[in-house]
Structure 1
Amino acid sequence: MSIDIPEDLQNLEANGGIYAIWMIFHHYGVDLDITDLVQLCRHNNQDGTFGIALAVGLKKLGLDVDFFTEHDPEQHQTEIECYLEANELNIPVNGVLGYQEIQQLVEAGRFVIVYYDTLEGVGNHSLIYSMDEHEICFFDSFDAMSAGLFQQQREQPGICQQVIVIDDRNFVMRDEEFTDV
């Protein structure tokens, strides 16, 4: 099975977070306009997207989300603004989830986006495809990552072990301006 990824998404620098959201909505058969999604999630080619901005975007698109993170003493101005918006949207901001807790959420059928450092030293948001006690697989990679390596990479400085948990049980598309349906 192949997926036709829009060219503007393929050509987008630092596209991991945008790709994760696009993949979730692709699952529903909803085509999101990439330009609007970039704007909604405050993406830029230098920083990509911030986890809290993705959570805000998902909430605005009609999904219930929980955001998990350790304290970040060096927040970017965009993050500060997004945390304020997350508070207004009643997005819970919680402490760090462990590997087993993430695995339990995936096994319970939740979409989960994790933030970790790639082996090239670049922060990346990835939607989890599958995971067990030994390895984790992502929608944006053909290679499984061992549980130990994933843990190591999500504990790198600046990563803050961020996780977005998406609960789609009450999903209703809220912002029609972002879709091409």
Structure 2
Amino acid sequence: MSIELPQDLLSLEANSGIYAIWMIFHHYGIDLHIPDLVQLTRHDDEMGTSTIALAVALKTLGLDAEFFTQVDPDKQPVEVEFYQKAQELKLPVYESPLSYAEIQKKAGEGRFVIVFYDSLDGIGNHSLIYSIDEQEISFFDSFEAMPAHVFEQQRRVDGICQQAIVVDDRNFVMRNS
């Protein structure tokens, strides 16, 4: 399977969150305009995009999403704005992270799941799950599987907050079919 990524996505610094959203919509044959996603999520070339911003963007674009996180004692001002927007959109925000088994269950139910974790290079990364089982997890942005225990270690790094977005596309599919 070969997917041609848009050049403006490839050249975007810190693009993992934007890539995850683009990949979900690509699944439906919808090519999103990358500059619009950058604006919608308030993407920053150095920091990328916050997980709550991605969840709000998904909801704004018509998908049902839920956001899971540990309590974040260090919310940045832009994140606070997105939490307020989530409340306006009635996007469920749970200050309780999903366990690995719960993530596996959601993915097994056919949900898209975007997780935030610290890459092995020490960089926060959003990835859309490609496959997951008890032993390992793999992502659309890297088909090289990561052992489950390594993933769990990397999502518990300070500042990561074990964040995940679960996307339920059933209503979206029904509206767009």
Match of 2:92 in 1: 92
Q: Identity across aligned pairs (percent)?
A: 65
Q: Structure 1: any 5+ residue segments left out of the alignment?
A: 175-181
Report what 2:172 is aligned to: 171
Structure 2 residues without counterparts, runs of 5 or longer: none
Normalised TM-score (structure 2): 0.96
Deviations 1:123-156 (A, max 9, x none): 0000000000000000000210000000000000
Partner in structure 2 of residue 158 of structure 1: 159
Q: CA deviation at 1:41?
A: 1.1
CA contact (8 A) 1:63 1:172 kept: no
Does 1 or 2 have the higher relative contact order (CA < 8 Å, sep 6+)? 1
Change (3 A) 1:82 1:169: same
How far does the alpha carbon of each residue in 1:56-106 deviate from its partner, in whole angstroms, 9 at most, with x for none?
Answer: 000000000000000111111110000000001001111110000000000
- Between the aligned partners of 2:39 and 2:107, the Cα distance in structure 1 is 28
- The total of aligned residue pairs comes to 174
Normalising by structure 1, report the TM-score: 0.94
Distance apart, 1:172 and its partner CA: 6.4
Where 2:67 maps in the other structure, the secondary structure is strand
1:3 aligns with 2:6: no
CA contact (8 A) 1:112 1:163 kept: yes
The alpha-carbon deviation at position 173 of structure 1 amounts to 10
Give the alignment of 1:1-181 within 5 angstroms: 1-94=1-94, 95-171=96-172
